[in-house]
Amino acid sequence: MLEMLQQWDAAFFQCINSSLSNPVFDVLLPWFREKWFWMPVYIFVAAFAIINFRRRGWIILLGLALAAGLADFTSSTLVKKNVQRLRPCNDVEMIGQVQLRVPCGGGYSFTSSHAANHFAAAVFLIGMFGGLARWVRPTALIWAGLIAFSQVYVGVHYPGDVLCGAALGAAIGWWAVFTWRRWLLR
């Protein structure tokens, strides 16, 4: 069963990494995985929270940081170090087939920490602000999805890595929303 899943993951990886290859994605998607590229979004979220919610805005930002931090710790320290799945760019069976568009990195692949961190943040933001404006939900999910997709496109993660990272991050994000609402707003 695991062998079959790995084959599907490798085939889907090839579809994204090679078949979708084009000059626009080659330039744009490596930037999507860089935190500095998204700095204006982070500043906007922080300003929005503080201006509109004052003291509670700081608590929202603390919850956001804790959700993303917990997702990163869980993905990087607990899951990756125990599963130890090689990145496609480090896998000897895949290395000749990978179009690597960024440095490969030496860590493990499963689960994608980029996907986990950003989906935790997106789901937390949806939980905090989604009721205020309809555009928050699709915007947050598209943002996190683009970051996750770019991980596969540039050659450093399999699709399964980002899907599981996204699921892990979303679960942590919802848990953080539940905890924030239940305990911190008393």
Q: How many folded domains does the chain comprise?
A: 1
Average pLDDT over the chain, rounded to whole?
91
On whether residue 2 sits in a domain, the answer given is: no
Tokens found for residue 10:
């490798």
Mean pLDDT, residues 172-178: 95
DSSP state string for 42-88: HHHHHHHHHHHHHHHHHHHHHHHHHHHHHHHHIIIIIIHHHH-PPPT
**Is 11 contained in some domain?**
no
Residue 155 lies in a domain: yes
Per cent of the chain over pLDDT 70 is: 98
In a domain, 179, yes or no: yes
Please report the pLDDT score of residue 115 as a whole number.
97
Domain range for 141 is 39-184
186 has pLDDT over 70:
no
Q: Is residue 7 part of a domain?
A: no
Residue 46 lies in a domain: yes
State pTM to two decimals.
0.91
> At a CB cut-off of 8 Å and minimum separation 6, what does 97 contact?
14, 18
Task: Summarize the confidence of residues 9-20 as an average pLDDT.
Answer: 91
Contact 146, 70 (CB under 8 A): no
- Asked whether residue 33 is domain-assigned, the answer is no
Instruction: Judge whether residue 184 has pLDDT over 80.
Output: no
In a domain, 65, yes or no: yes
For the cut 90, the answer to whether the pLDDT of residue 96 exceeds it is no
| Residue 183: pLDDT over 80 | no
Mean pLDDT in residue range 102-125? 92
